[in-house]
Every structure is written in structure tokens, then in C-alpha cells.
Amino acid sequence: AADMGKDLEKVLIPEDELQAKIKELAARIDADYAGKDLLLVGVLKGAVMVMADLARALRNQVQMDWMAVSSYGAGTKSSGVVRVLKDLDTDIMGRHVLIVEDIIDSGLTLDWLINNLKGRNPASLEICTALRKPDAVKVPIDVKYVGFDIPNEFVIGYGLDYAERYRNLPFIGTLAPHVYNGQ
Ligand code: PRP
Ligand code: MN
Ligand code: MG
């Protein structure tokens, strides 16, 4: 449906809470990386919104690069098979790298990505994620910056999709069952 409101079950995190949390994380990142050259690595496509908001909330200048990986395809469960659709343009050897993600669900995507990026010998490698689902974790990930821990429900909005839709909602919500059932 073109009207996203009909497909929504509930709002889990409203826009103002998301924005306030991103500003808090940005202040911590500014302090932690003061005097250092930081490269933000956004994980396409889900991290687009958090990357755009986080980068603009920082006071320090940073560089941005993107990697496109996908493990979900059109479904609601992680396949565990990570496909690289676009690699970084930047050589990260010796760089301070902060991976920016929208959500850590099973942890499979980030586990794979961390191992991949560590192999390129960055000076440091940390994670910032808007959301994390503690009850869904299959691989524990050491995350320095977490926005919100959320229940194990399928969520959409603020970059997160269901079959490529709902990414442009400015809040985090859950989907009405009729969407999954195709009605
Ligand atoms: C989603 C999300 C994270 C990952 C988290 O990406 O954006 O990158 O899954 O799941 P995990 O912890 O279980 O691995 P997706 O593969 O759907 O690609 P997208 O960002 O293009 O939507
Ligand atoms: Mn993603
Ligand atoms: Mg997705």
C-alpha cells in the first residue's frame, strides 16, 4: 500500500527519541575521537538514515565511505550468507574506522564485516548501531555505541525495510500482520 500508515502496527521509537539518541551518540563519538582522523563506514542500505543524522550531529570533521552487504534478501530472517554488493572505495589500513549500522539482529552481518575489515589492518575498529536485539543474537558482537535495545520483533523504518519498503519512515515501528500475510 502506498499509504504506509495502514501497514503499521505500532510505533516503537518515535522520531524525536531517535534524533535525541543520535545526538547523544554523536557527542560521545566526538569526545572519544577528539584529535583523531575518523572514517565512518555506513552499511548500505539500512544505515543510510543513521549515517546521515549521525554525521551531521558530529562537530569533528570525518570522512564517510560505504559498503553494501545484504544477508536478508526479501525475507524477514537472516540467511547468514553475506553478499558484498559494493566494497569500500577507501584503503582503511592505519585508519580509525567506525562502522555505522541501523540494527544488529542475529549479529551475522557484523560478525562477517568485522572479520573482513580487521583483515585490512585498520588502526582501530568500532561499531555504532541505532538498534540492537539482545534476544535475537546468534553471534555476540562487541558494540561501543548502541542507540536502543529492542524486543525481538521485526521492525521497519529509519532505514530498515521489509522487502525494500518502509525505509523512509522517520521512526521505528512494527508491521501489521496483514502485510506479511499478503492481504
Ligand atoms: C539488515 C540490517 C543489518 C542486518 C542485521 O540488512 O540493515 O545490516 O540486516 O541483521 P543480522 O544482525 O541478523 O545480520 P539487510 O541484509 O536486510 O540489508 P539492507 O541493509 O540493504 O536492508
Ligand atoms: Mn543492512
Ligand atoms: Mg534489509
Split at pLDDT 50, 70, 90, the class of 149 is: very high
Count the Cβ atoms, other than its own, within 10 Å of residue 63: 13
Whole-angstrom distance, CA of residue 128 vs CA of residue 27:
13
Which listed ligand is nearest to 109 at the C-alpha?
Answer: 1
φ, ψ for residue 153 (rounded to 5)?
Answer: -120, 155
pLDDT tens across 70-110, in order? Answer: 776 656 666 667 889 999 999 999 999 999 999 999 999 99
Residues 172/13, Cβ–Cβ less than 8 Å: yes
pTM > 0.90? yes
| ipTM greater than cut 0.90 | yes
Q: Which domains does the chain have, with CATH numbers?
A: 4-180 (3.40.50.2020)
pLDDT at site 82: 86
Whole-angstrom distance, CA of residue 179 vs CA of residue 85:
27
What residues are in contact with ligand 1 under a 6 Å CB criterion? 43, 45-46, 70-72, 78, 101-109, 161
Distance 132 CA to ligand 2 centre (A): 12
| Burial bucket for residue 59 (CB in 10 Å: 0-12, 13-18, 19+) | exposed
Distance 161 CA to ligand 2 centre (A): 9
